[in-house]
């Protein structure tokens, strides 16, 4: 059996999970992972990423309904996605991106009642047997190091 080290996970394991929405809580304190704050939305590192650099953009307003977003919320969210993509490109040089949202629990939304857009950088060859056979994502860099790379390239 192989061992995969993820020592940063202990913080989550022993933390007080509390009640309420994780994205609403993150909008207030962000646990140090907030990348950028706007008037209508904010960007944050995904604590449980698919790949290194996986970020999310969410409105401050608690809603899981895309149709309920105002024009201002939609506009600022997409503008922030552009800023994050530019910063990741500059700091991390990915080959591409997956950008999107999962609407509803059956669509894969982990936090179904608070809409958020995922920004997932991709590199040629970053998919291997680990997620398929081992149900494991291998993240090659500590989240704080990645956060610093992205933050330093944000407008």
As a whole number of Å, the end-to-end CA separation of the chain is 45
The phi, psi pair for 35, rounded to 5°, reads -90, -40
DSSP string, 27-75: HHTGGG-EEEE-SSEEEEE-SS-SSTT-EEEEESS----GGG--HHHHH
State the catalytic residues.
116
**Diameter of the chain by CA atoms?**
52
Tokens standing for residue 129:
């047997």
| Separation CA 38–CA 32 (nearest Å) | 16
């Amino acid at each position: 059996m192989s061992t995969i080290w993820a020592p940063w996970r202990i913080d989550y394991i022993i933390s007080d999970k509390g009640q309420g929405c994780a994205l609403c809580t993150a909008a207030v304190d962000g646990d140090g992972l907030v990348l950028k704050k706007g008037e209508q939305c904010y960007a944050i590192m995904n604590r449980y990423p698919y790949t290194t650099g996986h970020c999310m953009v969410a409105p401050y307003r608690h809603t899981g309904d895309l149709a309920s977003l105002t024009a201002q919320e939609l506009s600022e969210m997409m503008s922030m996605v552009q800023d994050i993509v530019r910063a990741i490109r500059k700091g991390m040089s990915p080959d591409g991106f997956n950008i999107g949202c999962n609407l509803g629990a059956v669509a894969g939304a982990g936090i179904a009642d608070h809409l958020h857009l995922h920004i997932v950088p991709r590199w040629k060859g970053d998919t291997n047997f680990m997620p398929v056979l081992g149900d494991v994502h291998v993240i090659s860099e500590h989240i704080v190091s990645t956060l610093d790379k992205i933050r330093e390239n944000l407008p």
